[in-house]
Structure 1
Amino acid sequence: MKRDLGNFTRGSQLIEHFGFMFAAGLKGPLIIALIVMCWLTWWTVSEGMSDHEVYLAWMHVYGVGYRFMEFDPRHDVAVKTAWGRTVTFPISLLDVYPPVLRACSNLWPTSFARRAGWYWVSPCRTRWCKCSSATPAFRR
């Protein structure tokens, strides 16, 4: 089996050219889609959660990253409460701290369920509505 798609025998340069041109053409729309998806996620989370809940969700992300890098689990972290005070405890306890658990349980439905609804359900609903208006069989 040949390893080099770039050698100019039997039309393999066309395969290489097609692949490079496809990747070059796909890069722009993917970057734009990623930017729009990040903005919509930020917007849904900022609309659906309070600032303190977003802060606690970011603290959870910080704790997960800290554990992933396998740093000292006894490292103390100061977490702000809803009343403005701070609580200091080891970073390994962020997973069991109730306000952080509530914030994370609010984060996933807020961001992903709404986003999934916007991206997938809305176009399908629009398509179904067009179909239902065109044919009476779909009007149930």
Structure 2
Amino acid sequence: MRSGDIRFNGQAATVKHHSARGRITRNSGNFTRGSQLLASQYKMTWAGLQVPIWIWLGTFIVLFNIFVWLGLAEHEFQLDLMKLYSAIWTWVGGDKFHLINLTLRNGIVTKVPIGYVPYEPHVVHAWAKTVKIFLTTLVMSAFIAAPIIMWFIMWANKRGSDMLQERHNRGALLVERDVLVKTVSGHIRCEVHARVGAGSAEIERRVRGASAATVALIALGSNDAASPALPTNLLALRRRTTAVKVAWLAPYDLRASSIVTSIAARFGDTVIPLRAQPSRDGIHPVSYRPVAKSLRWGAVAPFRAGVAPAPIARATVLVMSSPLGS
């Protein structure tokens, strides 16, 4: 159904202007709107990409600090800092032969030109250990962060899918009347099993397969109210009905109404007594509007997702009509 939905199928819809104010003067053109939409799209994409990057970077920082703390001695860490200081000093054009104090292992202090610090054997050894720690951290952080990033991607996909199922549709689409009627008709399906003058036995024979309907309305018993098989037929129909919510129309006839009420009470169904509505023929109410209002089928919405593919609402109507009308 989604492929034929005008909200999702990507087909162009002709929008016509029906304002009585005439031509509307807008404060932005196509370029302004398009550029803002593109900027918003890339900002949202970047916002999503930031999370995996921050996961990996946080993992890397934590591991690097742990490995440095475990793998480098205090003087080696200080020698690495002096190497960086020497590189910055040389880069800004400082005197390479400027003497500085360089603390070696066991607290030995030696004077060396600042430009010679990167080549001092103790500094070279300390820097080599730091590079190994850096490369090891890169590999391990990738292995540790990968499952977390995959979990985030799957969770984000699920959240995006849930948002569509929650029907967060905003705005309005102006289309032609025939397009609207066709679309709305595709979302509301009703299975009707009825024939003018049919009794409960005929409907019971006609309805055999299980239905995917979420709600069902059974209106039987008026034409064959005196039939001894009426309770058996209605009970067989009810046992075959798998709808989440079932409603019965209790006929005007007292015997048939009593049978319908007892079966509905057995299954916890809703009963709408027709005797509460005015009737000209003792079979049909003058108006079905109060009956339709009493159904309250909107209350079944929370159960619909687990029974039938949303957003299609389906109903099964088992109706027995008399020759006088339906």
The verdict on a shared fold, with TM-score over 0.5 as the criterion, is yes
Q: Share of identical aligned residues, percent?
A: 23
Q: Evaluate the alpha carbon distance shift between residue 27 and residue 120 of structure 1 in structure 2; reply closer, same or farther with a 3 A threshold.
A: closer
- Look up the match of 2:93: 70
Q: Distance in 1 between matches of 2:31 and 2:44?
A: 14
Q: Evaluate the alpha carbon distance shift between residue 74 and residue 30 of structure 1 in structure 2; reply closer, same or farther with a 3 A threshold.
A: same
Question: How far has the Cα of 1:121 moved from its partner?
Answer: 4.9
Which of the residues 32, 49, 52 maps onto 1:7? 32
Tell me the alpha carbon deviations over residues 62-106 of structure 1, each in whole angstroms, 9 at most, x when there is no partner.
111211222221222111121212111210111221100111111
Q: Distance in 2 between matches of 1:56 and 1:6?
A: 57
Question: How far has the Cα of 1:21 moved from its partner?
Answer: 2.6
1:34 aligns with 2:54: no
Q: How is 1:14-25 mapped onto 2 (pairs within 5 angstroms)?
A: 14-25=37-48
CA contact (8 A) 2:59 2:144 kept: no
Partner-residue secondary structure (3-state), 1:78: strand
Q: Which 5+ residue runs of structure 1 have no aligned equivalent?
A: 125-140
Which protein is bigger by CA-based radius of gyration?
Answer: 2
14-23 or 100-109: bigger deviation: 14-23
Partner-residue secondary structure (3-state), 1:74: coil
1:119 aligns with 2:116: no
Q: Distance in 2 between matches of 1:35 and 1:122?
A: 11
Q: Evaluate the alpha carbon distance shift between residue 73 and residue 33 of structure 1 in structure 2; reply closer, same or farther with a 3 A threshold.
A: same
- Look up the match of 2:78: 55
Q: Evaluate the alpha carbon distance shift between residue 46 and residue 6 of structure 1 in structure 2; reply closer, same or farther with a 3 A threshold.
A: farther
1:102 aligns with 2:125: yes
Q: Which amino acid aligns with 1:89?
A: V
Q: Distance in 1 between matches of 2:65 and 2:114?
A: 25
Tell me the alpha carbon deviations over residues 1-49 of structure 1, each in whole angstroms, 9 at most, x when there is no partner.
xxxx9622xx343211112233345456645643442232121122112
CA contact (8 A) 1:6 1:16 kept: no
- Look up the match of 2:106: 83
Q: Evaluate the alpha carbon distance shift between residue 104 and residue 6 of structure 1 in structure 2; reply closer, same or farther with a 3 A threshold.
A: farther
61-70 or 30-39: bigger deviation: 30-39
- Look up the match of 1:132: none
More strand, by proportion: 2
Q: Distance in 1 between matches of 2:44 and 2:113?
A: 51
Q: Distance in 2 between matches of 1:83 and 1:48?
A: 17
Q: Evaluate the alpha carbon distance shift between residue 19 and residue 74 of structure 1 in structure 2; reply closer, same or farther with a 3 A threshold.
A: same
CA contact (8 A) 1:41 1:111 kept: yes
Q: After the TM superposition, which parts of structure 1 deviate over 6 Å for at least 4 consecutive aligned residues? A: none
Q: Evaluate the alpha carbon distance shift between residue 120 and residue 20 of structure 1 in structure 2; reply closer, same or farther with a 3 A threshold.
A: closer
Q: Evaluate the alpha carbon distance shift between residue 26 and residue 53 of structure 1 in structure 2; reply closer, same or farther with a 3 A threshold.
A: same
Output the TM-score relative to the length of structure 1.
0.68
Q: Distance in 2 between matches of 1:6 and 1:50?
A: 60
Output the TM-score relative to the length of structure 2.
0.32
CA contact (8 A) 2:96 2:115 kept: yes
More helix, by proportion: 1
